């Protein structure tokens, strides 16, 4: 399955963690905000991409299935965040 990374620019506060976890696809601009490679996430990187998504301290990195399907993404991204929040909470406790 092809995945596409996106950044929620409002949520992103430039921690830069994503670029460390996934340098193949993410670099930082001169102000510390992520620049995403203009391609989908190859299967070989899918696992680390998911890791980058879940570890983003601002929950600003999002991964959706294929680009485009607008409203579908909306839901899945929200769900994604909720899931991540749940995971983080579990890890902390």
Partner 1 sequence: MKGTAMLPTVALDAARPQAAASQPSGPPTPGPQAPGLPPPGPQAPGPPTPGLPTPGPQAPGLQSPGQQTPRPQAAGPQAAGPDQHGTTPPGRDGGPFRRLLPPAAYSTAGLAAHIRWFGQLPYRGRPGSLIRDVRAAGLTGRGGAAFPVWRKLEAVLGAAGRPVVVGNGAEGEPASHKDKTLLTAAPHLVLDGLQLAAEAVRADSAVLYVCCDRPALQRLSAIVAERAEHGIDRTRVRIVSAPPRFLAGQESALASVVSGGAALPRFALPRVSERGVDGRPTLVQNVETLAHLALIARYGPGWFRSAGTPDEPGTMLCTVRQESSAHVAETPLGEPVDSLISLAGTQAVLVGGYHGAWIPSAQATGLPLSNAALRPLGGSVGAGVLAALPADRCGLVETARVARYLALESAGQCGPCRNGLPRIATALAQVADLRPRSAVLDDLSRWAGLADGRGACGHPDGTVRFVRSALRTFAGEIRRHLGGTCSASCDRHFLPIADGPTDDADWS
Q: Which of 21, 26, 73, 80 binds partner 1 (CB under 8 A)?
A: 73
Task: Supply the minimum distance, in Å, between the C-beta of residue 46 and partner 1.
Answer: 22
Cα–Cα distance list, 60 to 44, 90, 93 (Å): 22, 19, 22
Pairing type for strands 26-28 and 34-36 reads antiparallel
Stretch that binds partner 1, among 11-19, 37-45, 47-55, 80-88 (CB under 8 A): 11-19
Pick between residue 8 and residue 55 the one whose CB is nearest to partner 1. Answer: 8
Burial-class residue 10 by CB neighbours within 10 Å (0-12, 13-18, 19+): exposed
Pick between residue 70 and residue 91 the one whose CB is nearest to partner 1. Answer: 70
Q: Which of 1, 70, 89, 91 binds partner 1 (CB under 8 A)?
A: 70
Contact call for residue 13 and partner 1 (CB under 8 A): yes
From the list 21, 33, 29, 26, the residue with the least C-alpha distance to 5 is: 26
The site for partner 1 (CB under 8 A) is made up of 7-14, 29-33, 35, 70-71, 73-75, 77
């Amino acid at each position: 399955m092809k995945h596409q990374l996106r950044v929620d620019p409002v949520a992103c506060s430039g921690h830069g963690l994503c670029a460390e976890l996934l340098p193949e696809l993410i670099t930082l601009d001169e102000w510390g905000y992520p620049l995403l490679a203009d391609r989908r996430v190859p299967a070989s990187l899918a696992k680390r991409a998911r890791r980058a998504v879940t570890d983003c301290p601002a929950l600003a990195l999002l991964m959706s299935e294929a680009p485009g399907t607008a409203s579908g993404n909306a839901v899945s991204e929200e769900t994604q965040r909720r899931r991540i929040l749940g995971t983080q909470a579990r890890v902390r406790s």
